[in-house]
Structure 1
């Protein structure tokens, strides 16, 4: 969320999923479509974890939350770049919405000359998103692929991940940049859904979300 926007407009920033449904935050949120964006799918899964499953008829649970968010003038776009750089007020462009679906590790990217971040994450709405790399079965050069994985896991590469990719390194022994320590704390209690449940239900979730939010 864009801290400067809230300060300039004399409004207390939202903190929770429920806050985003309040009338005073109408028209402030932009998210990405879970059918076209991995952060969008992560947010959908977070709401499943937070509000529970829906009925077979498509009522209750997480879908009711999304219906309410839609009715509070939610904006949905296809990809993260458009959401962050076009529609988000804190993305450096002409956006007007102060709440954007992004990563909790984004705020260090907005640290200004004064040493303060212009944005902050809503840590009570987070879902842990993990990026993987591996060697495919039947790869033409498995030895080279394994060497590349070893390189990705090396200390120099892992130490460079935060400021190059704006994600946390998998190696917890790596010393984080001070801006990350100050402005990118990990969510202490992220929402979660079992991986096998996501794999089994993802397509149906997206279909139901699309029918409800993009109607």
Structure 2
């Protein structure tokens, strides 16, 4: 079984391209390294420029936040890092994995960004952090939720005669998802604003 570091997608999704396979512009997670030390890290892509300040890539690696978690809260001192050196790495799964392994004493084989259907949120209540190590990553459950969501999304767009989505994910449990429609009252008519959909 692969040793994968899972991230929450905190930015906008994008399709894998020739420059980056991360699929989200901003990602974050909280995890434990090989020594049992918990860390919070947030990453994004950044423009890489040459000595003449000319852009040579839009896919440099940027470490937005990085700190050790102590007693469930962030340690005051952020870990010292050189952004000029980090930006030479690319915003790709491979480079991100290599950078984390080399700098935070880890041995991950790759990273993966989880979509909203996995239910992982790194920020907990009262400024606490949810370690990904304590989260059950269930690919089958997430896929069922995604299929149910996409189905009801098409249903609502058809009923509302809308080209783009008019729903958002409100909550999930083991057997269902609940969506909320944000169309105006007039457009909704008899269509329910909040709907619970069982997943099978």
Give the structure-1-normalised TM-score.
Answer: 0.22
Greater radius of gyration (CA): 2
Greater fraction of residues in helix: 1
- TM-score for the superposition, normalised by structure 2: 0.23
Q: Which has the higher contact order (CA 8 A, sep 6+)?
A: 1
